[in-house]
Amino acid sequence: MTVDLGNVSKWYGNIVAVNDVSFTLAPGITGLLGPNGAGKSTLLHLMAGLLRPSGGSVTVDGLAAWHHPAMYRTLGFVPESEAVYPFLTGFEFVQLNARLQGVADPDSAARRALAQVEMSAAQDRPIATYSKGMRQRAKIAAVLAHDPRVMLLDEPFNGMDPRQRVQMMAMLRQLASDGRTILVSSHILEEVDRIADTVLVLIGGRLAASGPSRVIRQLMTDRPHTFTVRSNNDRVLAAAIVAQATTSSVEFVPGGMTIRTADLGVFTRSLPVLARDHGISLLEITPTDESLESVFSYLIQG
């Protein structure tokens, strides 16, 4: 079962949230990566039939997503928003979703889904008393209750502790190996890298890159990197570094020097060797552009 986006755009007045995006989601896990405000949520809402595309088309298994409630039999959407009906218990919430879906045995479907996300122990507590991570898992269980073939999850790992995250990733991988089409959005590269077979990078509402997660990771690491280095003899160290072919520039700044390198691997391996050969002590090495925003801005330029 596939989800197809053809030249999809969404704008609000003069603000373009999603700009001419095309891709096909196939069975397996696809990661939608992008900084906050990139348009990930808007794109997921378009795919979930909750927003009308301003241009282009979104189809789920050949059926237009907008204005087709019947498609929700095969699609499950987990919103990022924490809001759930606070007066329901976890079990009642998941069972409600199963009943709204018309599942034949909503009670056992709810129990099964809650067990899948390891929430059976807390299922009879009101959702109002749940932690953020527990709410996330209850929301995912609500979707699992009708066993959809397509799952769209908006920042599902938010608020989960590392153990829950690992458990959830394993569960999603299991669901994907059964042939489901799963899209997971995140603004954290490692999350997407660990779980997704394919990665879509969304920046400023545009699809900046897409491909197998290995290729995207390489694209993100094979780029110029900048470090601030401080040693007990910056001038001698600078001369040795400049002599390397992969060094783009060295600049003296207050409190050390800023080094720009075209090859992260060569730089990190050679720096300690150079320091040792010249009898220099390294006092501080700080990467200065490791934020996701700088990685993304590099991708846009690339």
Partner 1 sequence: MLINRVIAGLTVRQLLARKRWLMVTLLAALPIIMALLFRLYNVDDDALTFVVSMLSDLVLTVCVPVIALVLASAGLGAEVDDGTVVYLLTKPIARTAIVTTKILVIAGVTALLNVVSVVLAGAIALNGLDATHLVIGFAAGAALGSALYAALFLTLGLLTRRGMLIGLTYLVVWEGTLSGLFSGTRTLSIRQYMLSTAAAISHASTKVFSAPLPSDRAWIMSGVIAVLCVGYSIQRLRSFEVGQAG
Interface characters, 125-164, with partner 1 (x: CB under 8 A):
-----------------x----------------------
Q: Which is nearer to partner 1, 31 or 49 (CB)?
A: 49
Q: Does 67 bind partner 1 (CB under 8 A)?
A: yes
Query: Counting every residue, how long is the chain?
Result: 302
User: How far apart (Å, rounded) are the C-alpha atoms in residues 259 and 247?
Assistant: 7
Q: Which is nearer to partner 1, 45 or 149 (CB)?
A: 45
Binding residue (CB under 8 A) for partner 1 from 19, 23, 28, 99: 99
Q: Which is nearer to partner 1, 49 or 90 (CB)?
A: 49
Q: How far is the CB of 67 from partner 1 (least distance, A)?
A: 7
Binding residue (CB under 8 A) for partner 1 from 32, 33, 48, 117: 48
Span of 33-41, 170-178, 265-273, 275-283 interacting with partner 1 by CB under 8 A: 33-41
Q: Does 103 bind partner 1 (CB under 8 A)?
A: no
Binding residue (CB under 8 A) for partner 1 from 97, 213, 247, 261: 97
Q: Does 102 bind partner 1 (CB under 8 A)?
A: yes
> Residue numbers of the site for partner 1 (CB under 8 A)?
12, 15, 17, 36-42, 44-46, 48-52, 67, 69-73, 75-77, 79, 81, 83-88, 96-97, 99-102, 142
